[in-house]
């Protein structure tokens, strides 16, 4: 961008004093000679206003001169600063109107030098300087080279002695602007770009007899210098490049738009062809189906499930699914397959010419499908109409009812078996205690006999070996009997009818130990169970049967998540966090991805449907913990394992919770 300081330097090279102000009387520039020539210290005038700088009498001359300058009347003002009243400098005034507002130029020479110029010459100098200022400002704001040279004649006329007769001709990089001058009576300045002449500006008069002034040539040369400087600084080139870039971008966007229109047109043509195909097929059908047209449309719109009209090429002719387009393959649209179904209803109906009703499985869904043939006038099948109904929930409820019936029968069986096992086990427990007491009384006597007879044998075993192991055997029998008792009690608790009331004093550690015994045989095939139970975990009021159901479900699920090539580890932990009981069931199994983690608590979601999973275990566990005012969450990583975390609040440690072992009831 052209700097106005360059213009100020040029003016100061011709005049000793220069002051530039705007219409608000703000001083834009002041020459150093003017600043320091009127007082003991140099004045800082730029940025000040005429009111704060000038004496009152001087200010009046400035304001009067500015009014005259607007009317193109050249005058003289007196510069007298407030702090140097003895110093007064006469200045000529010039005026120009720029895009940023009015600008007034006040300039002059030393008093002796000023008198060298006649009044007419001084007026001409004022016009030339105002012209230079306007051109400099126009160079700075021009948006393109073309715009600059087109408007340049209007600015140059202001600085010439006969503005109404001025003719301006410019040429830049081969592009001509204005009216070409004839003859040799004109002023000229060359435009230099990168040390090479790139253009020229010529100024003359219509009347070739009018004499051109040296000052006008000097003004034109300065304009050429400023313009060359702007070109060197690439300001105009940048404007031109920006314009060209905008035009290139416009052409690119226009080309892209044409391509998009072409693509959209082609797509619309394809859709039109598909619609034409569908319409042609419907027209053929309408010739034989006029009476059933209304009925068919009613079925399509009113049927709550999916309906599809399919031709012999397995293409959709009509469907009540808005997202499915006519012409697509039925197996692609409905079942997302890349080839026809193995039990294709169309093939069977074409062969048998009879309706078909069956249930098909699509992923986790079960669909009842009723397919009807559509005959042509020759009684040949030319298509089918299929009605789909999602019966997944019905199937799931049926499986649940079967499972519930099995569990009810199992509960009765377990209760009876538990009673039958518990009775003889009571004899075993009582007899083991008597045998243990008898052995404790008898062994000292046998020890004395062994001292007399070192070859003594009992049960065909050397007495010394027998003596070391007999009490271990008895203790193992007692421990086994107690274990049978614990298993039977756990089975009876699991099988008994639960009223669903939250009135039990639940000891989490005891419940975990009972569940571990209950699932030991099933889990032991896949994993070991490790218990890390904190002894200070409090009891809480709840439903012990439901809590055990949750723990059994999580433990069995963890064992089923183990890889087939190794035996895993299930760790069950308990601890207290302030007034909250925390239970963790951690395994080092296969783990779950993020999508599965988000769905495991959704009813009927399961990854084990092929092995009989219903997808209800974890949702029921979630509901049970929620009933107890707690929460259950999961953390899992593929290939690392899964951890379920249960948090159950103990609402009042003084009323509803006591430490294990302190319950007197």
Give 174-210 as a 3 state SS string: CEEEECCCCCCCEEEEEEEECCEEEEEEEEEECCCCC
> CA 600, CA 603: separation in Å to the nearest integer?
8
pLDDT at 111 over 50: no
Give 76 or 531, the one with higher predicted confidence. Answer: 531
> CA 624, CA 9: separation in Å to the nearest integer?
91
Q: What is the CATH number of domain 293-390?
A: 3.30.450.20
**Average pLDDT, stretch 317-324?**
74
Give 29 or 297, the one with higher predicted confidence. Answer: 29
Q: What angle do CA 126, 129, 130 make, to 5 degrees?
A: 85
Q: By CB neighbour count within 10 A (0-12 exposed, 13-18 middle, 19+ buried), where does 53 fall?
A: buried
Quick one: pLDDT at residue 647?
A: 94
Predicted confidence band of residue 413 (pLDDT cuts 50, 70, 90): low
pLDDT at 399 over 90: no
Lowest mean pLDDT among 248-252, 331-335, 529-533, 570-574: 331-335
Mean pLDDT rounded to a whole number for the chain: 78
pLDDT at 394 over 80: no
Distance set, CA 597 to CA 449, 553, 605, 606, 622 (Å): 70, 17, 11, 11, 14
pLDDT at 293 over 90: no
Give 132 or 531, the one with higher predicted confidence. Answer: 531
Give 303 or 3, the one with higher predicted confidence. Answer: 303
pLDDT exceeding 70 applies to what percent of the chain?
Answer: 78
Give 98 or 349, the one with higher predicted confidence. Answer: 349
Quick one: pLDDT at residue 2?
A: 46
* C-beta atoms surrounding 15 within 10 Å: 22
Quick one: pLDDT at residue 35?
A: 78
Quick one: pLDDT at residue 527?
A: 92
pLDDT at 649 over 90: yes
Quick one: pLDDT at residue 583?
A: 95
Quick one: pLDDT at residue 1?
A: 44
**Average pLDDT, stretch 508-531?**
88
pLDDT at 376 over 70: yes
Domains 293-390 and 499-649 in one fold: no
Quick one: pLDDT at residue 507?
A: 92
**Digit-coded pLDDT (tens) for 442-484:** 889 888 888 899 888 888 889 888 888 888 888 888 878 877 7
Lowest mean pLDDT among 128-137, 193-202, 363-372, 645-654: 128-137
**Digit-coded pLDDT (tens) for 549-559:** 899 989 988 89
> CA 92, CA 108: separation in Å to the nearest integer?
6
The H or E element spanning position 405 is: helix 392-452
DSSP string, 101-158: EEEEEEEE--HHHHTTS-HHHHHHHHHHHHHHHHHHHHHHH-SSHHHHHHHHHHHHHT
> CA 406, CA 401: separation in Å to the nearest integer?
8
Quick one: pLDDT at residue 129?
A: 67
Question: Quick check: 126 and 90 in contact, CB under 8 A?
Answer: no
> CA 424, CA 447: separation in Å to the nearest integer?
33
Two tokens at 396?
Answer: 């799931």
Half-sphere exposure of 660 (CA within 13 A, CB side): 14
**Average pLDDT, stretch 387-402?**
71
Q: What is the CA radius of gyration of the chain?
A: 53
Predicted confidence band of residue 632 (pLDDT cuts 50, 70, 90): very high
Instruction: Starting at the earlier edge strand, list the strands of the sheet with 365-375.
Output: 316-319, 306-311, 381-390, 365-375, 356-362
- What residues does each domain of the chain span? 1-141, 144-233, 293-390, 396-491, 499-649
Quick one: pLDDT at residue 496?
A: 56
Distance set, CA 403 to CA 407, 410, 494 (Å): 6, 10, 15
CATH topology of domain 1-141: Beta-Lactamase (3.30.450)
Q: By CB neighbour count within 10 A (0-12 exposed, 13-18 middle, 19+ buried), where does 200 fall?
A: middle
Beta bridge partners of 178: 169
Lowest mean pLDDT among 231-245, 296-310, 562-576: 231-245
pLDDT at 364 over 80: no
**Digit-coded pLDDT (tens) for 480-499:** 887 777 667 666 655 555 55
Predicted confidence band of residue 613 (pLDDT cuts 50, 70, 90): low
Q: What share of the chain is helix, strand, coil (3-state, %, to 5)?
A: 50, 25, 30
Angle, in degrees to the nearest 10, between helices 463-495 and 544-560:
110
Lowest mean pLDDT among 83-97, 112-126, 225-239: 112-126
**Average pLDDT, stretch 225-242?**
64
Predicted confidence band of residue 113 (pLDDT cuts 50, 70, 90): very low
Quick one: pLDDT at residue 116?
A: 41
Cβ neighbours of residue 564 under 8 Å, at least 6 residues apart? Answer: none
**Average pLDDT, stretch 105-128?**
57
Question: Quick check: 231 and 237 in contact, CB under 8 A?
Answer: yes
Quick one: pLDDT at residue 300?
A: 62
**Average pLDDT, stretch 127-138?**
70
Listed ranges 221-235, 350-364, 516-530; the one with the highest mean pLDDT: 516-530
Give me the count of residues in the chain: 665
pLDDT exceeding 90 applies to what percent of the chain?
Answer: 10
Distance set, CA 422 to CA 417, 432, 538 (Å): 8, 15, 31
Q: Which CATH class is domain 499-649?
A: alpha beta
pLDDT at 248 over 90: no
**Closest among 225, 181, 219 to 203, alpha carbons compared:** 181
Q: Quick check: helix, strand or coil at residue 233?
A: coil
**Average pLDDT, stretch 102-121?**
61
């Amino acid at each position: 961008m052209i700097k106005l300081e360059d213009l100020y330097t040029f003016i100061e090279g011709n005049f000793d004093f220069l002051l530039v102000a705007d219409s608000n009387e703000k001083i834009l520039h002041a020459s150093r000679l003017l600043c320091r020539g009127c007082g003991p210290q140099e004045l800082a005038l730029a940025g000040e206003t005429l009111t704060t700088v000038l004496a009152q009498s001087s200010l009046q001359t400035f304001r009067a001169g500015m009014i005259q300058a607007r009317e193109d009347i050249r005058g003289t003002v007196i510069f007298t600063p407030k702090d140097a009243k003895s110093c007064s400098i006469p200045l000529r005034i010039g005026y120009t109107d720029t895009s940023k507002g009015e600008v007034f130029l006040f300039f002059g020479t030393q008093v002796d030098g000023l008198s060298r110029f006649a009044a007419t010459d001084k007026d001409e100098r004022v016009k030339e300087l105002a012209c230079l200022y306007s051109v400099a400002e126009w160079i700075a704001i021009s948006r393109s080279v073309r715009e600059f040279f087109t408007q340049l004649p209007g600015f140059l006329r202001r600085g010439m002695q006969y503005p109404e007769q001025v003719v301006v001709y410019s040429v830049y990089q081969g592009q001509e602007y204005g009216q070409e001058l004839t003859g040799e009576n004109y002023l000229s300045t060359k435009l230099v770009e990168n040390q090479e002449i790139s253009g020229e500006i010529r100024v003359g008069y219509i009347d070739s007899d009018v004499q051109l002034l040296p000052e006008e040539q000097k003004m034109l040369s300065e304009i050429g210098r400023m313009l060359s400087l702007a070109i060197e600084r690439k300001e105009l080139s940048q404007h031109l490049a920006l314009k060209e870039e905008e035009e290139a971008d416009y052409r690119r966007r226009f080309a892209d738009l044409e391509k998009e229109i072409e693509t959209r047109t082609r797509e619309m043509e394809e859709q039109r062809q598909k619609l034409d195909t569908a319409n042609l097929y419907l027209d053929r059908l309408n010739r034989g189906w006029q009476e059933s047209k209304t009925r068919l449309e009613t079925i399509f719109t009113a049927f709550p499930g999916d309906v599809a009209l399919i031709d012999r090429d397995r293409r959709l002719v009509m469907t009540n699914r808005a997202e499915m387009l006519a012409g697509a393959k039925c197996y692609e649209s409905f079942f997302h397959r890349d080839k026809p179904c193995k039990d294709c209803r169309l093939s069977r109906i074409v062969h048998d010419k009879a309706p078909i009703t069956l249930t098909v499985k699509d992923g986790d869904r079960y669909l009842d499908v009723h397919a009807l043939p559509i005959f042509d006038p020759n009684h040949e099948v030319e298509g089918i109409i299929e009605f789909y109904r999602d019966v997944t929930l019905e199937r799931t409820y049926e499986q649940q009812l079967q499972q519930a019936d099995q569990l009810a029968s199992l509960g009765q069986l377990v209760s009876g078996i538990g009673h039958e096992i518990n009775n003889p086990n009571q004899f075993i427990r009582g007899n083991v205690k008597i045998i243990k007491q008898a052995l404790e009384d008898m062994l000292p006597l046998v020890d004395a006999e062994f001292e007399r007879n070192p070859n003594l044998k009992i049960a065909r075993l050397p007495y010394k070996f027998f003596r070391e192991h007999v009490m271990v055997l008895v203790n193992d029998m007692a421990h086994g009997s107690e274990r049978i008792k614990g298993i039977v009690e756990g089975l009876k608790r699991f099988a008994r009818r639960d009223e669903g009331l939250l009135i039990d004093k639940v000891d989490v550690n005891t419940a975990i130990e009972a569940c571990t015994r209950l699932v030991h045989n099933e889990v032991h095939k896949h994993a070991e169970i490790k218990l890390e139970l904190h002894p200070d975990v409090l009891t809480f009021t709840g439903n012990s049967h439901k809590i055990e159901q949750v723990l059994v479900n999580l433990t069995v699920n963890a064992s089923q998540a183990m890889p087939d090539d190794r035996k895993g580890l299930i760790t069950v932990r308990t601890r207290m966090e302030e007034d909250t009981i925390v239970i963790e069931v951690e395994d080092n199994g296969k783990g779950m991805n993020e999508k599965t983690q988000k769905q495991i608590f959704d009813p009927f979601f399961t990854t084990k449907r092929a092995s009989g999973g219903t997808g209800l275990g974890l949702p029921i566990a979630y509901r049970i913990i929620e009933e107890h005012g707690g929460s259950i969450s999961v953390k899992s990583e593929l290939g690392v394992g899964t951890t379920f975390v249960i948090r159950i609040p103990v609402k009042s440690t003084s009323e509803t919770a006591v430490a294990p072992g302190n319950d007197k009831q």
